[in-house]
Amino acid sequence: MSLRPAEVTTWYLEQRDPGDLRPAEPADLPTEIVRAGTPSPEFSRFLYTAVGGDWYWTDRLTWTYDQWRSWLERPGVETWVAYTSGVPAGYLELDPQTGGQVEIAYFGMLPAFLGRGLGGPLLATGTARAWDLATRWPDREPTTRVHVHTCSLDGPAALRNYQARGFRLHDTHTATQPIPLDIPGPWPGAR
């Protein structure tokens, strides 16, 4: 994969109390947000490439099946999927960490559903599920902080959506980093 240097700004955001979460307007389309109840490397890799392929999500493209399985089978890792008309429209992945912290590791919409009013409700639901994670995982301590980061390579509405849901900016970092010459697209290697 050929790389080029790019200046990338990363914004780090957090909520420190469940009361920080602001609801979203209802989705424009009939939507159901469901937890993926069985860890599925195939499904999670599909979501990762379908959502992230246009935003330079490349860190997990080389993961093996066993790496995906090991990640997804960790206690407290949850994948929440928004469906409309039976089709996955977007997803959010929760990564439980020590000290009652939960990171929103990945969040985004499939290209066909961008700008359709689904991202706010999915983010609000996923963030609420981060706050009540301990109710589904008895060995988990209660959540004390939900955090996320986004960058200038992500979708243009990402930062606004996080802030609209009550996430507060706590750090910003800009650096030059190597990125692929071409975005991988939803079918990496098929172009």
The tens digit of pLDDT for each residue in 113-151 reads 999 999 999 999 999 999 999 999 989 999 999 999 999
> What residues form DSSP beta bridges with 83?
32, 88
Q: How far apart are CA 79 and CA 143, in angstroms?
A: 17
Range list of β-strands (E), 25-167: 32-35, 78-84, 87-96, 101-109, 145-151
Short-list 126, 143, 146, CA closest to 134: 143
Q: H or E stretch including 176?
A: strand 168-180
59 or 164, which is more confident: 164
Domain borders along the chain are: 3-180
Checking if the pLDDT of 179 tops 90, the result is no
Per-residue pLDDT at 48 exceeds 80: yes
Q: Give the mean pLDDT of the chain.
A: 94
Average pLDDT over residues 17-41: 95
The predicted pLDDT at position 191 comes to 53
CA distances from 84 to 109, 111, 187 (A): 12, 14, 22
CATH class of 3-180: alpha beta
Digit-coded pLDDT (tens) for 95-115 = 999 999 999 999 999 999 999
What pLDDT, on the 0 to 100 scale, is given for residue 56?
A: 87
Quick one: average pLDDT of 37-48? Answer: 96
With a cut of 80, say whether residue 1 has pLDDT above it: no
